[in-house]
């Protein structure tokens, strides 16, 4: 499916490790015509830095002479590069099918230590909307004390503190997305709430205008959570 196809919509799960995000990914992928890929080591942050650097060079320098230190900047086209990167992400990272209507990915590397602060987080999430226009954001958090007891967090020297700041950053970034992009684009859910009542996820997806099937969500979450209680991620 071409990157410019009006039939392709984008959704990303924004979270941190040991938050139950794999269950959310599974619930979305259980829907027909949906492909939500797993984590990619925050590969798109590197892409953002690349595109930002090209835009800065194009904006500040206009050298066409081979003896100039900025030779070549006169013909840089950031919009063309962005469009090319969009095609790359859709074809090679998301690997959509002809029938795909909703696609995206989940990423957990928004924790303190991976990204500087709430402003940097919001800036990157807004870049995702530039790269994949119309992006929807399902932001997922979990109680820091509960998450800190899970997996590698139990070996972190200050897991609770890092997770508390990460949750604060995610709340702040969600408010920024809602303010900049308007309603229906970013929703925050809490693992402890949707673990008790899947309707929380159903309502969130409905708010994001995703064609959610409540039966599919309830079934997928029940299966995933029953199989993954010991290693929720």
Tokens representing residue 187 in the block:
């929703």
Tokens representing residue 103 in the block:
């696609």
Helix, strand, coil distribution of the chain in percent, nearest 5: 55, 15, 30
The reported pLDDT for the residue numbered 230 is 40
Q: Rounded mean pLDDT of 185-201? A: 97
Tokens representing residue 22 in the block:
């794999």
Helix (H), strand (E) at residue 35: strand 34-37
What is the band of 63 on the pLDDT scale with cuts at 50, 70, 90?
confident
pTM equals: 0.92
The reported pLDDT for the residue numbered 227 is 56
| Spatial strand order in the sheet of 102-107 | 34-37, 102-107, 9-14, 136-141, 186-190
Tokens representing residue 47 in the block:
């892409």
The reported pLDDT for the residue numbered 201 is 98
C-alpha distances in Å from residue 59, one per residue of 40, 52, 128: 30, 10, 21
Q: Rounded mean pLDDT of 95-113? A: 96
What is the band of 143 on the pLDDT scale with cuts at 50, 70, 90?
very high
CB–CB of 148/160 below 8 Å?
yes
Pick from 8-12, 59-63, 68-72, 169-173: least confident: 59-63
**CATH assignment of 9-55+81-231?**
3.40.50.300
Q: CA-to-CA distance for 116 and 50, rounded, in angstroms?
A: 18
């Amino acid at each position: 499916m071409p990157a410019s196809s009006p039939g392709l919509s984008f959704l990303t799960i924004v979270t941190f490790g040991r938050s139950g995000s794999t269950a959310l990914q599974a619930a979305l992928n259980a829907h027909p015509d949906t492909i939500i890929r797993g984590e990619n080591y925050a590969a798109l942050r590197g892409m953002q830095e690349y595109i930002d650097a090209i835009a800065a060079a194009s904006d500040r320098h206009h050298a066409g002479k081979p003896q100039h230190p900025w030779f070549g900047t006169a013909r840089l086209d950031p919009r063309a590069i962005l469009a090319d990167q969009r095609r790359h992400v859709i074809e090679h990272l998301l690997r959509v099918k002809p029938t795909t209507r909703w696609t995206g990915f989940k990423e957990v590397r928004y924790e303190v230590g991976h990204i500087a602060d709430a402003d940097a987080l919001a800036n990157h999430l807004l870049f995702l909307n530039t790269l994949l226009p119309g992006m929807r954001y399902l932001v997922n958090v979990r109680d820091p004390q509960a998450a800190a007891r899970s997996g590698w967090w139990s070996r972190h020297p200050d897991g609770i503190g890092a997770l508390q700041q990460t949750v604060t950053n995610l709340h702040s970034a969600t408010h920024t997305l809602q303010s900049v992009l308007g309603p229906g684009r970013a929703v925050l859910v809490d693992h402890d709430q949707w673990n008790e009542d899947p309707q929380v996820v159903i309502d969130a997806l409905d708010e994001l205008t995703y064609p959610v099937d409540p039966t599919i969500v309830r079934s997928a979450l029940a299966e995933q959570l029953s199989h993954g209680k010991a290693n929720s991620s």
